[in-house]
Amino acid sequence: MKKFTRISTIKPTISAILCIFLSLGALFTVAADSTFLHVSFDPTRELYEEINKSFLKQWKEKKGSEFAIQQSHGGSGKQARAVIDGLDADVVSLALSYDIDSISTKSGLIDANWQKKLPNNSVPYYSTIVFLVRKSNPKKIKDWDDIVKPGVSIITPNPKTGGGARWNYLAAYGFAKRKYKSDEKATAFIKALFKNTSVLDTGARGSTTTFVQRGIGDVLITWENEAKLSLDEEKRSGKNTLEVVYPSESIKAETPVAVVTKTATEKGNLEKATTYLEFLYTKEGQSIISKHFFRPTDAATAKASAKEFPNIKLFSLSDLGETWDSAQKKHFADAGVFDAIYKTQ
């Protein structure tokens, strides 16, 4: 009687399975190489869906060839980390230049001088930080000073876990620093702000959900495009419970883009990637951008959409005398200002 299947019959089976696996693997690498991947942060999903459609149409008209663009969205820092760890992105568009810098310094996939490669410091569009309040503004919130008053409940995401949330923080800090002209007073202001914060979600979308859907809090500190999107959504579902409040001044939240040079070159996508990002600066690209509530950098488009974007005083990070590196070290790194706020409470 035969005891077990003889080893000689198993061997060919194993090699057959191995062959299948290997060829599948090869197939996947080929497939991965022919795709074009855009890694972006959370609130740009709808924007890039439309951008991609227009761009691919134009590309086909000009070059006669077709390809598909894959999109990946998530928290800005998370996305940067994924690219560092090997996600095959051809281009990235993130919430802050610090994240693209991190990719560049930690992995070398992006050239160190990436910000010089595209117009306007590689920032095709920007946004700012505004307030979303309940209808008819029951707490009479007009400016940053009003939200740190006792009894106001603030919703804002955690700057340690969300890249976008760092813009919120720096907007408040910048306002106080410019108004009171002292670091200590600005820190005290930030402290009062986070003392009033009742929920610290991990990302901007989470905060919007807490404020809009769950009805928690009096004021949501949020990106202008996110605020406008919420109003837009309410309008579509026939509700009317929210209002946008523009503070006297706020930060210019610059959201940069970059070609992941090394990956794009390896995949043979360098030309596509460069043209793709350049498309963002064209008339067509800019008008799609303004349609999705991001502020266009092109002067003519900005003029045409001026009604959408009230003219408020905007300061940039460099106006505060900071770079992302110094701001990161001072405020958000361990034992920075943000950590100190919660230590003394």
Partner 1 sequence: MLIETRPYKKIHFGISLGLTVFYSSAVVIIPLLGLFIHSLGIGVSGILEVFSDERIRSALFLSFSVGIISAILNLFIGFLFAWVLVRYNFPFKKLLDTLIDLPFTLPTAVAGIALTTIYSQKGIIGSYFETWGIKIAYTPIGIVIALVFIGFPFVVRTVQPVIEELPKELEESARCLGATPFQTFYKVLLPELWPSILAGTGMAFARSIGEYGSVVFISGNIPGKTEILPLLIVTKLEQYEYEKATSIALVMLLTSFAFMFLINLLQDRASKKLS
- The site for partner 1 (CB under 8 A) is made up of 1, 3, 10, 14, 75, 77-78, 81, 102, 106, 158, 160-162, 197-202, 206, 209, 213-216, 332-335, 339, 342-343, 345
Nearer to partner 1, 106 or 185 (CB): 106
CB of 288 to partner 1, least distance (A): 30
> Hey, what are 140's tokens?
């009479």
| 3-state DSSP assignment of residue 107 | helix
As a whole number of angstroms, the distance between CA 237 and CA 294 comes to 22
CB of 323 to partner 1, least distance (A): 17
Nearer to partner 1, 84 or 244 (CB): 84
Nearer to partner 1, 184 or 334 (CB): 334
Backbone angles phi, psi at 148, to 5 degrees: -95, 0
From residue 128, give the alpha-carbon distance in Å to each of 82, 125, 131, 205, 228. Answer: 26, 11, 10, 16, 12
CB of 283 to partner 1, least distance (A): 37
| 3-state DSSP assignment of residue 200 | coil
Nearer to partner 1, 77 or 285 (CB): 77
Closest C-alpha to 75, from 89, 49, 94? 94
As a whole number of angstroms, the distance between CA 260 and CA 278 comes to 14
CB of 140 to partner 1, least distance (A): 22
Question: 130 near 168, Cβ under 8 Å?
Answer: no
Nearer to partner 1, 65 or 344 (CB): 344
Question: 71 near 49, Cβ under 8 Å?
Answer: yes
**In which region does residue 82 sit, left (phi positive, over 0), alpha (psi from -120 to 50) or beta (all else)?**
alpha
Nearer to partner 1, 197 or 286 (CB): 197
Helices of type H across 117-223: 119-122, 144-147, 163-180, 183-195, 204-208
As a whole number of angstroms, the distance between CA 186 and CA 178 comes to 9
CB of 254 to partner 1, least distance (A): 20
Nearer to partner 1, 57 or 329 (CB): 329
Say which amino acid occupies 159: P
Nearer to partner 1, 66 or 334 (CB): 334
CB of 60 to partner 1, least distance (A): 38
CB of 223 to partner 1, least distance (A): 18
Residue 305, Cβ density class (10 Å: 0-12 exposed, 13-18 middle, ≥19 buried): middle
CB of 1 to partner 1, least distance (A): 8
